A = this chain, B = another copy of it.
């Protein structure tokens, strides 16, 4: 028997024309019964935000047998005729000829009944929340942004690189890392009062990567332009709406780029992503603009239409010192900018994205290239209004001797970085790169307040469920 092709609801609604016979499959969002012997079913299959309305005449074959299984959450296949819909907001509706129930959802037990559910509650049922409008839309937007990232870099000839997840080095020289081991915690092998890692799986102490940058530099020094897009980890005990213990990061790294090239790329990149998602997810973005944050669409358009402001760290500190704001953290040259400072500059001073560059050397990692002033390094951060930092990057120190000195100042053991230093010993080149926290991007694009609501299964302190 030749199987009939299933139509996705997105296709059905997009073509918008009458059809003698189509088959759709999906989940019942709501059911409403009319006195005239009809049931109206709203069906969603995740291919788009909108439901397809199905009209089931109670006289169709065996309706009485399936009727009790047709509830919110049930999974069905419907064969029927597509007709023009008299209702508002939909082009066509489906007049059922036959309905098959694949799986029911007992209304006394299924948690997603038609009513408002808080995001906190939905986090507790992270395995069911993709069946809601909000989380379906978040995941479609997340998907499109992921693809747009690949399209952007592939279009420019960058090579996608899978840097290692399990690693023996700590890129930042300061990150809090998860340990990866196969040692039995109940009987850790010791030698000379120390843990004997030679008996661990990799023969030494290993952890989860905090960044693929150092390995990215290896490949930039051979293939010129690369990018990573993979999971990274922080074992920080931060329970905030902006932190995850496991998150995805995009890290391009480019030979022959200086800091200005790096900033140009970052700006082109963000503008490309906003344009792309507006073009490909208009329905989902309108939903967010209506339900979550009424300023999203306007802000996206602003980013697309305007050049980013660029100011030095020293200028930023001046602006902050001159402002009349009461900041929680005070600012002076040499201190880290806090989220409140970054937001003040982008939201209140410039009212658009801002790139701050040339940060004090002391507050930045060892690998950033020094400026001639001897005080600052070629670092840059891209700040978005409402969100703060979304991208951090720098030109890298490409001089072997300078880098060795910097590592000494920062108390790093150069033996641990012999291969990284080799990149400066053999065929060194000016190069630069940046990192974009992917979930922060999805947060900004969707307007979702809590970062736990823009990743399928969030990992945070005391939570690795599902």
A465 in the interface (beta carbon within 8 A): yes
A186 in the interface (beta carbon within 8 A): yes
Q: How far is the CA of A135 from the CA of B136 in the complex (A)?
A: 40
Looking at A163, A219, A230, A237, which has the most chain B CB atoms within 10 Å of its CB? A219
Q: Is the CB of B46 within 8 A of A464?
A: no
A269 in the interface (beta carbon within 8 A): no
A291 in the interface (beta carbon within 8 A): no
Q: How far is the CA of A176 from the CA of B136 in the complex (A)?
A: 33
Q: Is the CB of B461 within 8 A of A202?
A: yes
A375 in the interface (beta carbon within 8 A): no
Closest to A426 in B: B105
Within 8 A of B (CB), among A40-69: 45-47
Known contacts A26-B224, A166-B459; decide if A464 and B426 are in contact (CB<8 Å): no
A215 in the interface (beta carbon within 8 A): yes
Known contacts A73-B427, A427-B75; decide if A157 and B457 are in contact (CB<8 Å): no
Interface residues of A (CB under 8 A from B): 6, 8, 10, 25-28, 45-47, 73-75, 77, 102-106, 109-110, 112, 126-128, 130-131, 135-136, 139-140, 142-143, 146-147, 150, 154, 157, 159-169, 176, 178-183, 185-186, 188, 195, 201-204, 206, 208, 215, 218-219, 221-224, 230-231, 233, 235, 237, 245-246, 248, 255-256, 398, 419-420, 422-430, 455-457, 459, 461-466
Q: Is the CB of B218 within 8 A of A127?
A: yes
Q: Is the CB of A223 within 8 A of B130?
A: yes
Q: Is the CB of A103 within 8 A of B178?
A: no
Residues of the B chain whose Cβ atoms lie less than 8 Å from the Cβ of A218? 127, 130, 456, 466
Task: State the Cβ distance, A309 to closest chain B Cβ, in Å.
Answer: 22
Closest to A399 in B: B103
* 24 pairs, A vs B, C-beta closer than 8 Å: A8-B224, A46-B159, A73-B426, A102-B398, A102-B427, A102-B429, A103-B426, A105-B427, A106-B426, A131-B222, A135-B222, A140-B159, A140-B223, A143-B160, A163-B457, A165-B208, A165-B231, A165-B233, A165-B246, A166-B208, A178-B182, A181-B181, A182-B235, A186-B188
Residues of the B chain whose Cβ atoms lie less than 8 Å from the Cβ of A163? 456-457
Task: State the Cβ distance, A305 to closest chain B Cβ, in Å.
Answer: 25
Closest to A103 in B: B428
Q: Is the CB of A427 within 8 A of B74?
A: yes
Residues of the B chain whose Cβ atoms lie less than 8 Å from the Cβ of A25? 224, 255-256, 429
Task: State the Cβ distance, A61 to closest chain B Cβ, in Å.
Answer: 21
Residues of the B chain whose Cβ atoms lie less than 8 Å from the Cβ of A423? 127
Q: Is the CB of B180 within 8 A of A185?
A: no
Residues of the B chain whose Cβ atoms lie less than 8 Å from the Cβ of A464? 164, 166-168, 202, 204, 206
Task: State the Cβ distance, A198 to closest chain B Cβ, in Å.
Answer: 9
Q: How far is the CA of A154 from the CA of B463 in the complex (A)?
A: 31
Known contacts A427-B74, A466-B215; decide if A179 and B185 are in contact (CB<8 Å): yes
Q: How far is the CA of A126 from the CA of B181 in the complex (A)?
A: 23
Closest to A165 in B: B231
Known contacts A195-B185, A419-B127; decide if A457 and B203 are in contact (CB<8 Å): no
Known contacts A47-B224, A146-B160; decide if A235 and B201 are in contact (CB<8 Å): yes
Q: Which 8 A-B pairs have the closest CB atoms?
A: A103-B428, A46-B223, A130-B222, A202-B464, A203-B462, A127-B419, A75-B427, A105-B426
Q: How far is the CA of A465 from the CA of B419 in the complex (A)?
A: 10
Q: Which listed residue (B47, B112, B147) contacts A223, Cβ 8 A?
A: B47
Task: State the Cβ distance, A458 to closest chain B Cβ, in Å.
Answer: 8
Residues of the B chain whose Cβ atoms lie less than 8 Å from the Cβ of A164? 246, 456-457, 459, 464, 466
Looking at A105, A136, A203, A222, which has the most chain B CB atoms within 10 Å of its CB? A222
Known contacts A75-B428, A246-B164; decide if A466 and B419 are in contact (CB<8 Å): yes
Looking at A103, A165, A462, which has the most chain B CB atoms within 10 Å of its CB? A103
Q: How far is the CA of A235 from the CA of B135 in the complex (A)?
A: 34
Q: Is the CB of B419 within 8 A of A75?
A: no
